[in-house]
Amino acid sequence: MLLDLLSKRRSIRQFTAAPLGSEHIDHLKEIAIRVPTSRGLNPWQFNFVTQSDLISKLAQAKPHAAAFLNQCPLAVVISADTCRSDVWIEDSSIAAICLQLAATELDLASCWVQIRLRPHDETTTASDYVSSLLNLDEHHQVVAIIGIGHPAEEKQPHLKQDLPWNHIVDFT
Ligand SMILES: Cc1cc2nc3c(=O)[nH]c(=O)nc-3n(C[C@H](O)[C@H](O)[C@H](O)COP(=O)(O)O)c2cc1C
């Protein structure tokens, strides 16, 4: 059930050193490109990174809340061609959450690293920093990096009674 999967998914930032099997990586690649996009334009690109030297550079993309990537055996960098579609952010975000749910289904753990609109330092955006690391095409903006691996911490699902029910408006 999707509800079970959504409940099980938590942001995990501690990972074991175990690498991901190629069958898991292939599965996640297929998930990424099966998601729907507006008008079927597929403006995104998914860089699947397992090289540890590259992952440690990705972990420096922004000063805060990205360092945990150092522990991840897989980082999926989601970027999009901003000239190809006007809803590249939506398209990329749909792919990102689907990747997180697919990882959960495989008993893997994940966490989103926000890159879009975040600074790398005073002069460079995090998106430009990652783009130049990966040699991304012109017009590509990096939306997020999803760190994925085997969990080294456990988090319980949020309790049903603690969900933000006040954000549901009922006209039924
Ligand atoms: C759009 C978005 C951006 C996020 N950016 C980061 C981030 O840069 N670094 C990080 O460690 N967690 C990031 N997170 C994870 C959130 O902090 C996390 O989902 C939230 O605190 C709820 O916790 P949970 O995922 O365990 O339910 C992000 C999540 C989303 C949906």
Say how far apart CA 61 and CA 83 lie, in whole Å: 23
The pLDDT tens digits of the residues spanning 79-100 come to 999 999 999 999 999 999 999 9
How confident is the model over 33-57, as a mean pLDDT? 98
How confident is the model over 154-172, as a mean pLDDT? 98
The answer to whether residue 101 sits within a structural domain is: yes
Q: How far is the CA of 52 from the centre of ligand 1 (A)?
A: 23
119 confidence band (pLDDT: 50, 70, 90): very high
How confident is the model over 139-159, as a mean pLDDT? 98
Tokens of 28: 């996640």
The answer to whether residue 2 sits within a structural domain is: no
Amino acid letter, 27: H
Establish whether residue 114 lines the binding site of ligand 1, counting it when its CB lies within 6 angstroms of any ligand atom: yes
Say how far apart CA 94 and CA 89 lie, in whole Å: 9
Domain enclosing residue 64, as ranges: 8-157
**Residues 140, 113: contact at Cβ < 8 Å?**
no
Q: What CATH number has the domain bearing residue 128?
A: 3.40.109.10
Share of the chain above pLDDT 70, in %: 100
Minimal-distance CA residue to ligand 1 atom 18: 11
The answer to whether residue 17 sits within a structural domain is: yes
How confident is the model over 2-29, as a mean pLDDT? 98
pLDDT of residue 109: 98
How confident is the model over 129-157, as a mean pLDDT? 98
Establish whether residue 11 lines the binding site of ligand 1, counting it when its CB lies within 6 angstroms of any ligand atom: yes
Establish whether residue 129 lines the binding site of ligand 1, counting it when its CB lies within 6 angstroms of any ligand atom: no
The answer to whether residue 144 sits within a structural domain is: yes
CA dihedral sign of residues 56, 54, 69, 60:
positive
pLDDT of residue 131: 98
The answer to whether residue 37 sits within a structural domain is: yes
Q: How far is the CA of 128 from the centre of ligand 1 (A)?
A: 21
Number of domains in the chain: 1
Say how far apart CA 7 and CA 18 lie, in whole Å: 25
